[in-house]
A and B are shown apart, each in its own frame.
Chain A
Amino acid sequence: MSEHTTPTDGQPIVQMRGIVKRFGTTTVLDGIDLDVAQGEVVTLIGPSGAGKSTLLRCVNGLERITDGTIEVAGERLSYTEKSLNHLRARIGMVFQSFNLFPHMTVMENVAVAQREVLGRGKDQARSRGAELLERVGLGHKADAYPDNLSGGQQQRVAIARALAMDPAVMLFDEPTSALDPELVGEVLDVMRALADDGMTMMVVTHEMRFARRAADRVVLLADGGIAEQGPPEQVLDSPTSERGQAFLQQLAEH
């Protein structure tokens, strides 16, 4: 096991035990154990098709695990509609393709779930929304529609939308992969600030700069399992596993 810092105050925010995920007969995740401590930033890396997205999607129940157990903020994930909705409200998710609601303004995007799920009033939802839009640098875009924003701006709105639910953990699935290179920085800056503020995060990314500067731990996923994990320098500079070395070799060639 790695030498990452163990949580000091008991329970991890995310606790995954023996996670198995099969699609039909293909086994994508084959017995994963992974804990994420309060305030920890874990970066998931690995070759395409390794199951990184699947692992994240299992955490908030978008994919149903074949075997194992998942606990988030002390609550066991089960697949009844009610318990899924309850847990998902506490887990923010940011997608590669932003997925903003195109028929709603930026403000409506960040307010809708606050109102529908948390039962916040209109004013409360809007003021919390405005706060978070300010935080991602888009306070002035509250009345714009997503189609009129750049990709980087859309992704920052998506982050604000997730944060508006006051989540216990944020999941990011390749948040910058769909962006033009010149727009990647603005999204990573927001994510880094979030990490500095102590948000618990699981981040699938190919941005090794982010992994080095913001992650407490890097987890390398390969062949359905965790091939290697530890502090960024260790995993990225001197991997001990064969898979880790092969993956880094591949990265270096790009």
Chain B
Amino acid sequence: MSDFLELFAEYSPLFLEATSVTLRLTAAALLMAMVGGAVVAALAMSKVRPLRWLATAYIGVVRGTPLITQIFIIYFGLTAVVTLEAFWAGALALAFHNSAYIAEIIRSGFQAVPKGLTEASRSLGMSKVKTLKRVQAPLALRTTLPVLGNQYIIAVKDSSLVSFIGMTELFQTSRNMAATTYEPLTAYIVVAIYYLVIVLALTALVAWLEHRLSAHRRPAQA
């Protein structure tokens, strides 16, 4: 046990640095994926049939292939034509992947907004954009927040695959540790602890946001 703690402490500077890489990588990917997901969701709900097909095809490809192949294809595909750091290649690959899942979440959130509420807003003279902003989006966000949070957690863990294109993020750091210490079990338990802490923090954040956004569902204070 004391050996474990010693190694844990010794490697903590490297792992903290790597935690920051993993977080930045995932954050960059998810920011892009929220925009991408919103666009794909808009295509999927479009009145123009070819645009819906495009969205369906995109989602089908992402769902139908392993993430690791998507990462390799995007990395080798992009670096063949432009010079791109592994960080951005990895972030783009994760964004490409998560956009599809986030699009589905956004779409289901909008479809869950009762039609009557949209009609009530429109019948007050609120434009499509104002209705989207004041009624549909806030309500969609409230219903999708738990699922969205879940997708973010998956994204954090999936970012470990970016180690295979040469990113020294959390998982790669544990592989390096295993190679130098000849203690693979210790190394992978250490990295598991780091992931777990990130995921627990994220879970708490989402729960807090959910609470903030659900005032309307709590009984009135006396």
Contacts and interface: CB of A to CB of B under 8 A. Distances in A.
B157 interface: no
Contacts of B114: 99
Contacts of A161: 124
Contact of B220 (A91, A95, A145): A145
Contacts, number: 76
Contacts of B119: 62, 95, 99
A128 to B, nearest CB: 14
B101 to A, nearest CB: 25
A90 B124 CA distance: 8
A60 B138 CA distance: 25
Interface string B116-137: 1101111111111010001100
A48 B185 CA distance: 71
A93 B123 contact: yes
A104 B117 CA distance: 12
Main SS of the interface on chain B?
Answer: helix
B47 interface: no
Given A97-B116, A102-B216, A62 B125 contact: no
B117 A99 contact: yes
Contacts of A148: 219-220
Contact of B139 (A85, A99, A102, A146): A102
A103 B138 contact: yes
B116 A85 contact: no
B125 A103 contact: no
A151 B82 CA distance: 62
Contacts of A112: 124, 126, 134
Contact of B215 (A60, A87, A145, A165): A145
B142 interface: yes
Interface string B5-43: 000000000000000000000000000000000000000
Best-surrounded residue of B117, B120, B139, B219 (most CB of chain A within 10 A): B120
B130 A116 contact: yes
B126 A85 contact: yes
Contact of B127 (A85, A91, A93, A95): A85
Nearest to A62: B119
A218 B125 CA distance: 28
Interface string A46-60: 000000000000001
Given A95-B116, A99-B116, A103-B139, A113 B216 contact: no
14 contacts: A62-B123, A86-B125, A93-B120, A95-B120, A99-B117, A101-B120, A102-B139, A103-B213, A112-B126, A113-B124, A116-B126, A117-B126, A147-B216, A148-B220
Interface of A: 60, 62, 81, 84-91, 93, 95, 97, 99-104, 112-113, 116-117, 144-148, 158, 161-162, 165
